[in-house]
Amino acid sequence: MEVSAERIAQHLKGEIIGDPNVKVNMVAKIETGKPNNVCILHNPKYQNYLLTSNAGIVVVSRNLLPEQKVKPTLIVMEDAHSAFAMLLDLLNTIKKSQKKGHSLLSYRAWSSKIGKKVYIGRFSYIGSKSKVGNGCQIHPQVYIGSDVTIGENCILYPGVKIYDGCKVGNNCILHANVVIGSDGFGFAPVEDGSYKKIPQTGNVVLEDDVEIGSNTVVDRAAMGSTIVRRGVKLDNLIQIAHNVEIGEDTVIAAQTGIAGSTKVGKNCMFGGQVGIAGHIVIGDGTKINAKSGIQGNVKSELGQKGLMGIPAIQMTQYLKCYAKFRHLADPEKK
């Protein structure tokens, strides 16, 4: 779907110079812009491209306005850089609104309840007594088990699997092949050396405004709930084990693993490939650098200064140590 310069200007609260009716459907770099593209110019290094650009619309910072007339329609802002996220959000919202209706090749149990303006794609399955809120987008091949509750305006991309009894809040986005509610890794050793499976009887609760990247798994609790609090953002390929709780507005990068029953505070930031042991508490605002390992409790006053290493220590301390031990194998430095 296309969007006009007038609508973009209203959304960004910018000033139009040129044709307000010109329409675009994609964001592009100003050096490669085409008539159906909208570009953003905030860096003086790229100012010359504006004179030759074929883009339909350019959102430009006021201090970079050209003296001569240019081909694109201009939307002038004090700082065009700040408009980037808002512009992408507008185009994404318009794109999402295209999908409507229920595919005849989908299945929904008669006892399920589906809200208004819900899109259900081909080969999706909605189990008994499950509820889907208004405005949700359920893409093809999504599985929603029994007794699942999904709030309003959620997006479930292809291949998402939500097991029985799990709850998803409002405005959540689950990307392709996310699994919510698979069994936690619970096994008890027996005398003959084998392992007996411990039933995982709990569920997963995702609060509002949670976004989860592709192929991430959040396991159901052994008892009670695994909880992902409001505003949490999880990257691709993350493992959240049973009975974990992640605090509000925490962001976690790819390939991180959090073992069972660990409590993560709010406003934390974890880099990629972080490993976190089970049954520990990580304080609010903790920052953990990539590839670090956390084996014990982390107090907020320490975690907010940044952690690094395996096992992780305060980042400034780690860098001082690293400056020394990286030369240990060099004979000339001994």
Q: Is 88 helix (H, G, I), strand (E, B) or coil?
A: helix
Residue type, 78: E
CA dist., res. 48 & res. 63, Å (int): 13
User: Known catalytic residue: 139?
Assistant: no
Q: Is 7 helix (H, G, I), strand (E, B) or coil?
A: helix
CA dist., res. 318 & res. 281, Å (int): 22
The C-alpha torsion from 70 through 74 and 76 to 79, rounded to 10°, is -90
Q: What is the CA radius of gyration of the chain?
A: 25
Q: Which two tokens stand for residue 180?
A: 């919510």
Pairing of strands 161-162, 143-144: parallel
Helix (H) or strand (E) holding 313: strand 313-314
Q: How many degrees, rounded to 5, is the angle at CA 256 between CA 252 and CA 260?
A: 100
CA dist., res. 151 & res. 86, Å (int): 24
Q: Which two tokens stand for residue 9?
A: 């200007």
Task: Write down the H helix ranges in 28-122.
Answer: 49-52, 83-96
Q: For residue 6, which phi and psi values (nearest 5 degrees)? A: -60, -45
Pairing of strands 257-258, 239-240: parallel
Q: From the candidates 42, 139, 175, 242, which is the catalytic residue?
A: 242
Residue type, 41: L
Residues with catalytic function? 242
